[in-house]
Amino acid sequence: MKLYHVTNNCASHIALSDIPVVEYVELYNDLKERMAQRRYHIGHYFATEIENGLKFFLILLDDTTSEVLVTSFVPDYYSEGLASLTALHPAFHPFEREIHELYGVPFDSHPWLKPLRFSHDRRDKASTMDSYPFYSIEGAELHEVNVGPIHAGIIEPGAFRFICAGEQVLHLEIALGYQHRGVEGEMVRNQNRLRQTLIAESIAGDTAVGHATAYAEVVEKFAGFKASKSLSLERMIAIELERIAMHLADTGALATDIGFQLYQVACEALRTVTINTSQAWCGNRFGKSVIRPCGSNHPLTEQKIALIRKNISEVRRRYNEVREDIMESPSLLARFEQCGLVPKSEMETIGGVGQAARASGLLRDLRATHPSGYYTEIKHEPILKHDGDVMSRLATRMDEVLQSADYIESALANYKPQGDIPAPDYNATLQGDALAFSLVEGWRGEICHVALTNGEGEIVKYKIKDPSLHNWLGLAIAVRSEGISDFPINNKSFNLSYCGHDL
Amino acid sequence: MLVKLLNTLLMVVVALSITGVINRTRALLAGRKGIRFLQHIYNVNLLLRKGAVYSTTTTALFRIAPVVYLGATLLAFLFIPIADLEPLLSFHGDIVFVAYLLALSRVAIVLAAMDTGSSFEGMGAAREALYGALVEPALMMGMATLALFCGYSSFADIFATAQELNMNLTIVLLLVAYVFVVIMIIEAGRVPVDDPKTHLELTMIHEVMCLDYSGVDMALIHIAGWLKNAIFAIIAANAVAVAFSFHWWFAAPLAILATGIAIGVVESFRARNKLSRNATFILTIVAMSALVLLTGFLLIQNIEI
């Protein structure tokens, strides 16, 4: 029996009738083998309510062939719990925890089904942050340090509980779920697509372009809209601009955390140039409003192209100088090298994605493994580092800035606006009874949006996965046995999103 | 008497100016215009006009500590002469008294930090106590070197007789000055040992102990910090002045500029240490001051090296 519907990131939507409905036992046995091959990783895994029960969907990404495997199952879970996949492959942990939290599905032998995000529609309303099951270790020599949920900076809420022996961290537990925006519900409650786009841009404020692109691609797949080459190119420019801006900001933030003023101010100045370029393009420094479904309100003009090229080549030149200095700065290297190690095997086990995974030598880059749009033409070479320490994560960022600048430069070098980019269409008819997913490599990593439509072509289920969902655990692992005072640089080297996780 | 007042007045000017010079140096090196030179004084003035908020878990110890901290530092401050001027207070053996006054101020603030029961402040107190204990030998040996050269054990007498010193000792005096500048960096919690600009509680040393203080108490702690800076900066500048030009109009500006610019430059062009490396950093300075003391001893004995 066919277990999966095979498709890829460039294909259109999938009719629900094309997705096989399998037996969980068979899927479980297959995944046990398949995941052990280490060539697949999870795109998304979620459940949705149907008449008298739940239907589960699983999207699996094959990193060697660009194939995407989609399957579903409808278990009779009230009689018995589902065998936990997390127990075999820990990368499943956030998904099973979410399903458990939302629908109370028991997962047998799951190592620890603690709540994921305390969303408003969770099943067990008695489960609140006050009763969060924090891990604890007994010992007269140990002490616990709780940081947050309210922090001393202008950042989002999240509690970090350290168990330390003196200055050394034995264990860090990260408890998120202080924001209850209900983004996924909001995307369904109102079918106005302009409104949905605006919400998508706000899923994680630092990834406005990434999430808006993911949303636009989902809608376009339902609508059967094929983005023209110029539209895909402009979206690529927007995503890479965002990547440059955020990597610059993080380089500066890492310098701030070690009290290194020189690199801090140098990077802040360059970031300003970059985000001002976005502003000149679309009127918003974070690239909001540049991505719209089925078209664009801000097609590039000759003038804007010239400005972007000028600014980006300037940023590239100056940042390269900063990069070379950083690589030769002994006091900085003494802080970042061999600090916060996450080996490749560990990163793979927990399902790490994006720039943090690449810093550990794990190839997780959708631009290379599952390209769509303009990336199919670029033949992207992912940047891999192998040490998995703070320095590797910084070095990945630094190299990616230069690479992104090169992509922008070469794409715009011969680009003449054709005037063939339509205005956005918020009213296109969507294919009914279908599933569409989008996979976008944002600056932080893999963004996956999945939507289901009903018979009338309305979106009835919208699932969002920000790369932070996977990588928060990576941070917890990175700081183990490090000094507690090195937590901030580790945190900054991952720079994960609280709201992208909490939704 | 007038000389003593001039000395105290100049000391106050030095204490108030160093932070301004550090801020200005950092700003210039960052390519910024920077805040007003006296902004830190305005800030403290603002704090002085505010009430303080106290956590319910704290006791009287927590409220007394800032006063003890400032009081002990202020008393120590009054023993320091600027080059050829006379300090307000002086007696034989006051170099040891000053060292223990500074230790007393540290004990007060460390106990107050423990009193809050906060895990952050507990960590800060542990760090401060460790580094304080490690740096103390450097301070003692630095002062001992000066005492050894002059044969006196009060700051006033040491510097009053220092101008007759043999020129062979110049290099040792410069090293004494260096040791005191580094002690100042450690005591003031500046880069590379600590970072006063950081907002990250987990990495702080000095700042984290003062997290629960507000308003007037915070102001007292800031003022004590300035006075402490001035003590070390002036001793360092005096040591240099002995070798070159032993006048107050040389030593006082030198104390402000040399330490202020040095700290500003260091904070712009290097990262702070990994916390676990701080002990090594401090012990290096202790070793250096031991070397200075030994070299000084050999030199005044006229032993060929």
Please state the rounded mean pLDDT for residues A290-307: 93
Give the number of A-B residue pairs with CB atoms closer than 8 Å: 83
A323 has pLDDT over 90: yes
Q: What is the token pair recorded at A501?
A: 């996780």
Residues of A numbered 238-257 whose beta carbons fall under 8 angstroms of chain B's beta carbons: which are they? 255, 257
| Residues B116/B36, Cβ–Cβ less than 8 Å | no
CA distances from B303 to A93, A354, B297 (A): 73, 66, 9
Contact (CB<8Å) A334/B191: no
d(C-alpha A314, C-alpha A465), whole Å: 34
Nearest to A483 among B197, B271, B274 (CB): B274
Q: Identify the band that residue B303 occupies on the pLDDT scale cut at 50, 70 and 90.
A: low
Q: Identify the band that residue A247 occupies on the pLDDT scale cut at 50, 70 and 90.
A: very high
Nearest to B201 among A152, A255, A339 (CB): A152
- SS3 sequence of B161-217: HHHHCCHHHHHHHHHHHHHHHHHHHHHHCCCCCCCCCCCCHHHCCHHHHCCCCCHHH
d(C-alpha A479, C-alpha A502), whole Å: 22
d(C-alpha B192, C-alpha A243), whole Å: 32
Q: Which residues of A touch B199 (CB under 8 A)?
A: 152-153
- The distance from CA A8 to its chain's CA centroid, rounded to whole angstroms, is 19
**Residue of chain B whose alpha carbon sits nearest to that of A485:** B203
The tens digit of pLDDT for each residue in A179-224 reads 889 999 999 998 999 999 999 999 999 999 999 999 999 999 999 9
The tens digit of pLDDT for each residue in B122-178 reads 999 999 999 999 999 999 999 999 999 888 889 998 888 877 776 678 889 999 999
- Hey, what amino acid is at B279? A
Contact (CB<8Å) B274/A167: no
Report the half-sphere exposure of A278 (CA within 13 A, side-chain side). 26
Q: How many CB atoms lie within 10 A of CB B43?
A: 15
Identify which of A83, A77, A2, A7 has the alpha carbon closest to the alpha carbon of residue A43: A7
d(C-alpha B243, C-alpha B264), whole Å: 25
Residues 6+ apart with CB under 8 A from B292: B141, B142, B145, B172, B175, B176, B179
Nearest to A143 among B29, B119, B201 (CB): B119
**Residue of chain A whose alpha carbon sits nearest to that of B271:** A260
Tell me if chain B has a CB within 8 Å of the CB of A123: no
Q: What is the token pair recorded at A211?
A: 């999430």
The tens digit of pLDDT for each residue in B35-70 reads 999 999 999 999 999 999 999 999 999 999 999 999
The tens digit of pLDDT for each residue in B260-291 reads 999 999 999 999 999 999 999 999 999 999 99
Contact (CB<8Å) A143/B122: yes
Q: Which residues of B touch A267 (CB under 8 A)?
A: none
Q: Based on DSSP, count helices (H) and strands (E) in chain B, helices before strands.
A: 11, 0
d(C-alpha B267, C-alpha B19), whole Å: 13
d(C-alpha B66, C-alpha B64), whole Å: 6
User: For residue A435, what are the β-bridge partners?
Assistant: A14, A452
SS3 A439: strand
Q: Identify the band that residue B105 occupies on the pLDDT scale cut at 50, 70 and 90.
A: very high
Residue A107 has phi, psi (to 5 degrees) of: -115, 115
Contact (CB<8Å) A487/B202: yes
Nearest to B271 among A260, A485, A486 (CB): A260
Q: Is the pTM of this model over 0.95?
A: no
Contact (CB<8Å) B275/A144: no
pLDDT at residue B200, rounded to an integer: 85
**For testing contact with chain A, the best of B274, B275, B280 (most A CBs within 10 A):** B274
d(C-alpha A55, C-alpha A73), whole Å: 6
Identify which of B86, B111, B90 has the alpha carbon closest to the alpha carbon of residue B209: B111
Element (H, E) at A175: strand A168-175
CA dihedral of B145, B18, B70, B88, whole degrees rounded to 10: 60
Q: Identify the band that residue A60 occupies on the pLDDT scale cut at 50, 70 and 90.
A: very high
Contact (CB<8Å) B202/A485: yes
CA distances from A89 to A104, A150, B246 (A): 21, 33, 74
Nearest to A258 among B202, B269, B272 (CB): B272
| Residues B198/B190, Cβ–Cβ less than 8 Å | no
Contact (CB<8Å) A262/B31: no
d(C-alpha A282, C-alpha A290), whole Å: 6
Q: Identify the band that residue A76 occupies on the pLDDT scale cut at 50, 70 and 90.
A: confident
A495 has pLDDT over 80: yes
Contact (CB<8Å) B272/A488: no
Nearest to A257 among B29, B200, B274 (CB): B200
Q: What is the token pair recorded at A397?
A: 């960022």
Query: What residues in chain B have their Cβ under 8 A from chain A's Cβ atoms?
Result: 26, 29-32, 119-120, 122-123, 126, 191-192, 195, 197-203, 267-277
Position of tokens 């002690």?
B183
CA dihedral of B8, B13, B16, B17, whole degrees rounded to 10: -150
Q: How many CB atoms lie within 10 A of CB B303?
A: 8
**Residue of chain A whose alpha carbon sits nearest to that of B194:** A259
Q: Which residues of A touch B29 (CB under 8 A)?
A: 261-262
pLDDT at residue A160, rounded to an integer: 93
Tell me if chain B has a CB within 8 Å of the CB of A386: no
pLDDT at residue B150, rounded to an integer: 85
| Residues B228/B188, Cβ–Cβ less than 8 Å | yes
**Residue of chain A whose alpha carbon sits nearest to that of B120:** A145
Please state the rounded mean pLDDT for residues A47-55: 89
Cα of B122 to nearest chain A Cα, Å: 10
B305 has pLDDT over 60: no
Residues 6+ apart with CB under 8 A from A38: A348
User: For residue A448, what are the β-bridge partners?
Assistant: A439, A465
Q: How many CB atoms lie within 10 A of CB A340?
A: 26
Contact (CB<8Å) B271/A335: yes
Q: Identify the band that residue A304 occupies on the pLDDT scale cut at 50, 70 and 90.
A: very high
**Residue of chain A whose alpha carbon sits nearest to that of B29:** A262
pLDDT at residue A82, rounded to an integer: 86
d(C-alpha A231, C-alpha A214), whole Å: 14
pLDDT at residue B304, rounded to an integer: 57
Q: Based on DSSP, count helices (H) and strands (E) in chain A, helices before strands.
A: 17, 14
Q: Which residues of B touch A329 (CB under 8 A)?
A: 270-271
d(C-alpha A379, C-alpha B149), whole Å: 73
d(C-alpha A471, C-alpha A486), whole Å: 18
- Specify the pairing of strand A67-73 against strand A82-83: unpaired
Tell me if chain B has a CB within 8 Å of the CB of A154: no
Identify which of B135, B94, B165 has the alpha carbon closest to the alpha carbon of residue B280: B135
**For testing contact with chain A, the best of B116, B263, B270 (most A CBs within 10 A):** B270
Nearest to B272 among A153, A166, A259 (CB): A259
The tens digit of pLDDT for each residue in A121-176 reads 888 888 888 888 888 898 899 999 999 798 887 889 999 999 999 899 999 999 99
Q: Which residues of B touch A169 (CB under 8 A)?
A: none
d(C-alpha A188, C-alpha A195), whole Å: 11
Q: Which residues of A touch B192 (CB under 8 A)?
A: 259, 331
d(C-alpha B222, C-alpha B128), whole Å: 16
The tens digit of pLDDT for each residue in A408-457 reads 999 999 898 888 899 999 999 889 899 999 999 999 999 999 999 998 98
Tell me if chain B has a CB within 8 Å of the CB of A258: yes
**For testing contact with chain B, the best of A136, A338, A389, A485 (most B CBs within 10 A):** A485
User: For residue A168, what are the β-bridge partners?
Assistant: A165, A483
Report the sign of the C-alpha dihedral through residues B273, B277, B279, B285, in that order: negative
Residue B123 has phi, psi (to 5 degrees) of: -65, -45
SS3 B297: helix
Cα of B167 to nearest chain A Cα, Å: 37
Rg (CA), chain A: 22
| Residues A358/A383, Cβ–Cβ less than 8 Å | yes
Q: Name the DSSP letter for residue B42.
A: H
How much of chain B exceeds pLDDT 70, in percent? 98
pLDDT at residue A77, rounded to an integer: 60
Q: Name the DSSP letter for residue B116.
A: T
Q: Dmax over Cα atoms in chain A, in whole Å?
A: 71
Tell me if chain B has a CB within 8 Å of the CB of A326: no
CA distances from A236 to A43, A203, A276 (A): 21, 19, 18
pLDDT at residue A293, rounded to an integer: 93
d(C-alpha A368, C-alpha A64), whole Å: 10
Contact (CB<8Å) A145/B26: no
Q: Dmax over Cα atoms in chain B, in whole Å?
A: 64
**Residue of chain A whose alpha carbon sits nearest to that of B195:** A259
Q: Which residues of A touch B31 (CB under 8 A)?
A: 265, 269
B74 versus B242: the higher-pLDDT residue is B74
Rg (CA), chain B: 19
Nearest to A261 among B26, B120, B126 (CB): B26
User: What is the average pLDDT value for chain A, to the nearest integer?
Assistant: 92
Cα of A166 to nearest chain B Cα, Å: 8
- Hey, what amino acid is at A44? H
Residues of A numbered 436-495 whose beta carbons fall under 8 angstroms of chain B's beta carbons: which are they? 483-488
- Specify the pairing of strand A53-62 against strand A67-73: antiparallel
Alpha helices in A202-301 (DSSP H): 208-223, 229-257, 261-282
Range in A73-87, B134-148, B196-210 the model is least confident about? A73-87
CA distances from B37 to A273, A495, B25, B175 (A): 29, 35, 10, 30
